[in-house]
Structures are given as C-alpha cells and as structure tokens.
Amino acid sequence: MKLNKDVTICFRTSAKLQASLKAAALREQVNVSALINSLLNDFLKTSSGSDKRRHNRKDSTIPVIINGMTSSGPVLLTGTIQDVSLGGVRIAIPKHEQATLVINAEVKDFEIVFRLPDGSTRPVSMTCKPSRVSKVGDDLHIGASFQDGDLQSYFEIQSFVM
C-alpha cells in the first residue's frame, strides 16, 4: 500500500522528545517522519471509534485466580491473564480447569486476584463482568470488563499498563 503524502505538517517540540523520536525510529528502522505518521495513524484508529476498546491493552502472562458464583454453587479456578488494560482483561482458562466452569447468562460477574509482574508485592483484586467467551485451541478465552475494585488496585493496573 502506497501512502499519499502530499501535505507537510511542521510542529515545535522539545529536544528531549526529538531525541526520543530519533531513537525510536532507529530501533524501528524507519525515518522519524514515517514513525510519527505511524503513531498518528494508530492514535486516530483507536480514537475514531472504529475500535470498541477505550484503553490500550498490554500483553502479558499473569497467573490469576478466578472466584465466581453459579446456580450450582461457587466456582474457584485458575487461569492466565493474556492481556490487561484499564478497562478489563482477557483470561485463558486451560482445558483441565474448564470442567468446573460454565460461562453463560447465569454468571453475572466474578472476582479475579492476581499479582502484576512489575515487582509489586500487593495482590490486585477486581470484580469483572464477562463480555466475550471464545474457544482458542484447547483454552477458553474470556474477555471481561472491570466492574469494581479498590482504588489501589486501579492504581496498580494503571502504573503497569502505562
């Protein structure tokens, strides 16, 4: 795909930001103009409404404990957080754990407890609402939005994803 670059945009910035842009462009093996063009396109895609997500996701592999309630009683299982954002998580539940789990209309919300891999010693506890459930290989992936949590848990997640 050839980009039509027929307009010049100039702006002023600090020497520190310019140095950071040059370093990032060097790492990506592009020129600064191409890097800025790519960054602006990515920003406009996420802010234009074409993507339903309001927050950027950070890929990770974080062990998580899931505590939920169904009509047949409490459910406690383990999984792995695949990505996290300020708005929610994507959790993979392995095949051997799925026997105890039924995600359908009867599961309104569940609690997750995990520790972020950034060296924090405080566990994060959040109440989540499932929004998407899909089978990926042998794993069950659950996309869930955060519904409630203590303020410190939100701060921990914010510092991790930013």
What confidence tens digit (pLDDT) does each residue in 109-128 have? 889 999 998 777 889 999 99
Indicate whether 31 pLDDT > 70. Answer: yes
Indicate whether 54 pLDDT > 50. Answer: yes
The predicted model gives 123-144 an average pLDDT of: 88
Which phi and psi (to 5°) does residue 84 adopt? -140, 145
What confidence tens digit (pLDDT) does each residue in 81-110 have? 999 998 899 999 887 766 555 554 456 788
DSSP class of residue 48 equals T
Q: Which pLDDT score, from 0 to 100, does residue 61 have?
A: 93
**Rounded-to-10 torsion of CA 152, 153, 155, 157:** 170
- Indicate the pLDDT class of residue 47, thresholds 50, 70 and 90: low
Residue 146 CB neighbours (<10 A): 19
Write out the two tokens for 4. Answer: 């039509």
- Indicate the pLDDT class of residue 50, thresholds 50, 70 and 90: very low
| SS3 at position 152 | helix
Write out the two tokens for 125. Answer: 């506890």
Which phi and psi (to 5°) does residue 130 adopt? -65, 135
What confidence tens digit (pLDDT) does each residue in 2-17 have? 556 778 888 888 899 8
